[in-house]
Homo-oligomer: A and B are copies of this chain.
Amino acid sequence: MVKADLEAVVKFNRERPDVYGNAHPKNLLRAIQEDGDHLSKLSSRHIYSIDQFERESLFQLFRLAAKYEANPDRFGTSLQGKILISAFYEPSTRTRLSFESAWHRLGGDIMSITDRSTTGIAKGESLADVGEMFNNYGDCVVLRDTNANSVREMMSALRIPIINAGNGTDEHPTQAMADLYTIFKWKPSLITEEGSEKINLCVVGLPSKMRTVRSLLKLVALFPECFGQVTIVNDQSMETMFDEGQATQLLDAGIDLQTSDCLDDVLPDADVVYINAIAWEGNSFNQYGKQFHITSDSPLKKSAIILHPLARGAELCCSLDSTEHNWYFAQARGAVFLRQALLTCLVQRAERVLDIV
């Protein structure tokens, strides 16, 4: 390779492209007043399901996340002396590194388990015993497993907090929190001017089978004043689309819940488009609606933003990366700060970062 060509290949820029979802977290900091009392519960609760959260705790978590995001280098010792047990019995690089980066940035130490077969579970050890073991070795656990019951079995013996980082097809609570955090950063007026502005949310995915969607819809149901229409797009029938209670929870909250099997019909009115790798169910490959994909030619609203929990496949075209619709990279970036906020509270270190203690 000619040296000039090589120079072009190896030179890189640290600055993010402007279009990568550049909401300033400071706007969210102004939109929410700090009130640490609403975080105190979090030091004695496992993080298992969105169902256990209230609006006020979530607002405070989002505020703390925004504080971390606005001052990413300030809190390098918040978790000093604390050990995270990062247990990914179901493999993951993205979520694992997101949690581990969050913990490292705050000065904590980490022990990783990335291979289920190296654990005693392969020998028949109970998950409760694994939990009792973790009590002696660390201060916090993050667990992902294809088996939806693992986290609860471990919780029965844990005396340190655990975060459910994905339990089968059930939930992925921190992902949903990161998603809503991104939406509020993008449009803090949803919080400050309650009711004056609602957004339409389009979710491309299968609520009955996708833990990210399941958790997200539970969260949406907690903030009905923010959402106008919520439209679920997939190719399934009503019987298979929702598990028991999923639709009801949204309707009872006053959400205008719609479904559609035609994405291009829904896009022109959607403010936030949440698209999942609809081909995936848990960690195995299943084909749900290969026909649902978004490109820069899709009939998107000019101001619409796109979210995707990543990793993405054909459903989200790279041509959108350089457009102002691209908020999926900001979503991944913000997820680290959201997790920092949660982890800090779980291990009783909130008093090191809150202004009013």
Instruction: Give residues of chain A (27-82) contacting chain B, Cβ–Cβ below 8 Å.
Output: 44-49, 51-52, 73, 76, 80-81
Instruction: Give residues of chain A (1-31) contacting chain B, Cβ–Cβ below 8 Å.
Output: 1, 3, 6-7, 9-16
Q: Known: A93-B119, A125-B311. Contact between A13 and B111, CB under 8 A? A: no
CA distance A12 to B154 in the complex (A): 12
Beta-carbon contact of B83 and A105 below 8 Å: yes
Does A114 count as interface, using CB distance less than 8 angstroms? yes
Q: Would you give the 0/1 interface string for A89-122, flagging 1 where the beta carbon is closer than 8 Å to chain B?
A: 0011110011011001100011111110111100
Beta-carbon contact of A138 and B45 below 8 Å: no
Beta-carbon contact of A152 and B9 below 8 Å: yes
> Which stretch in A231-239, A262-270, A328-336 binds the other chain?
A328-336
Who on chain B is nearest to A91 by CB?
B118
Interface centre among A13, A48, A97, A115 (most CB of B within 10 A): A97
> Which stretch in A157-165, A184-192, A206-214, A287-295 binds the other chain?
A157-165
Rounded to whole Å, the gap between the CB of A25 and the closest CB of chain B is 14
Q: Known: A125-B311, A311-B129. Contact between A333 and B104, CB under 8 A? A: no
Chain A count of residues within 8 A CB distance of the other chain: 80
Beta-carbon contact of A48 and B10 below 8 Å: yes
Q: Which of B80, B105, B133, B152 contacts A97 (CB 8 A)?
A: B133
CA distance A114 to B136 in the complex (A): 21
CA distance A221 to B333 in the complex (A): 43
Instruction: Give residues of chain A (118-163) contacting chain B, Cβ–Cβ below 8 Å.
Output: 118-120, 123-126, 128-130, 132-138, 152, 155, 158-161
Q: Would you give the 0/1 interface string for A303-314, flagging 1 where the beta carbon is closer than 8 Å to chain B?
A: 000000011110
Q: Known: A114-B118, A136-B332. Contact between A104 and B109, CB under 8 A? A: yes
CA distance A101 to B12 in the complex (A): 26
Identify the A interface with B (CB < 8 A).
1, 3, 6-7, 9-16, 44-49, 51-52, 73, 76, 80-81, 83, 85, 88, 91-94, 97-98, 100-101, 104-105, 109-115, 117-120, 123-126, 128-130, 132-138, 152, 155, 158-161, 277, 280, 285, 310-313, 318, 329, 332-333, 336
Instruction: Write 5 A-B pairs (CB below 8 A) sorted by A numbering.
Output: A10-B45, A73-B81, A83-B101, A97-B134, A120-B311
Closest 5 CB pairs of A and B: A120-B311, A91-B118, A125-B311, A101-B137, A104-B109
